[in-house]
């Protein structure tokens, strides 16, 4: 299936749909993939199931931000203009909202409410990072060398100022040697 030829109404519809999805993508745009599929494949017929799945797989396997799959979907739909429209649509509202909230918070950083919010978010952020590490480390639970590597890495992070890049590289080497 070649890129679709879109008329002006299609471009506005595509842009508007991704604008809406941007505000629904709490936790990341990948959470809106089912709605993207419904719209692009089932409603508009701009791509096939196979193209949709391949676009997400290609984007997720490439280095870079998780959001790249939106660019690939736009590319499949309508080439470079489709890429630009979907990315602008998915980025504009959330980026604007984040910028406005950051500026608002910075201007009021000494107020009790903003300080309470910032102090409350810190433990939540640490908890989310730890839970992600826990889930990502699950496959290693049966391997003593990998569990030791995780424990040593956590200890080094807590006790030293070692660059996380060195710790990631060391973990990668241990993982390659152990064969996990």
**What does pLDDT average to over the chain?**
87
Question: SS3 of 162, please?
Answer: coil
d(C-alpha 141, C-alpha 147), whole Å: 6
DSSP string for 63-132: SS-TTHHHHHHHHHHHHHHHHHHHHHHHHHHHHHHHHHHHHHHHHTTTSHHHHHHHHHHHHHHHHHHHHH
Do 25 and 90 touch, CB atoms closer than 8 A? yes
What radius of gyration do the chain's Cα atoms show?
A: 21
Sign of the torsion angle spanned by Cα atoms 61, 64, 65, 68: negative
Please name the residues in contact with 37: beta carbons below 8 A apart, sequence gap of 6 or more.
49, 52
- Residue 127 reports pLDDT greater than 70: yes
Q: What is the pLDDT of residues 14-53, one digit of tens each?
A: 999 999 999 888 667 888 889 999 999 999 999 998 899 8
The pLDDT value recorded for residue 2 is 62
């Amino acid at each position: 299936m070649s890129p679709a030829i879109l008329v002006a109404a299609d471009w506005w519809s595509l842009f508007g749909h991704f604008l809406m999805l941007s505000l629904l993508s709490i936790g990341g745009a990948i959470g809106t993939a089912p709605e993207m599929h419904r719209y692009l494949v089932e409603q508009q017929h701009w791509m096939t199931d196979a193209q949709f799945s391949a676009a997400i797989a290609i984007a997720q396997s490439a280095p870079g931000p998780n959001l790249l799959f939106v660019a690939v979907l736009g590319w499949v739909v309508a080439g470079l203009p489709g890429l630009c429209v979907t990315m602008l649509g998915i980025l504009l509202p959330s980026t604007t909202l984040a910028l406005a909230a950051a500026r608002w918070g910075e201007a009021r950083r000494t107020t009790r409410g903003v300080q309470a919010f910032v102090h409350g978010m810190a433990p939540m952020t640490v908890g989310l990072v730890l839970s992600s590490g826990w889930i990502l480390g699950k496959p290693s639970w049966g391997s003593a060398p990998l569990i030791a590597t995780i424990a040593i890495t956590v200890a080094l992070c807590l006790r030293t100022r070692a660059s996380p890049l060195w710790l990631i590289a060391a973990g990668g080497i241990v993982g390659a040697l152990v064969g996990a």
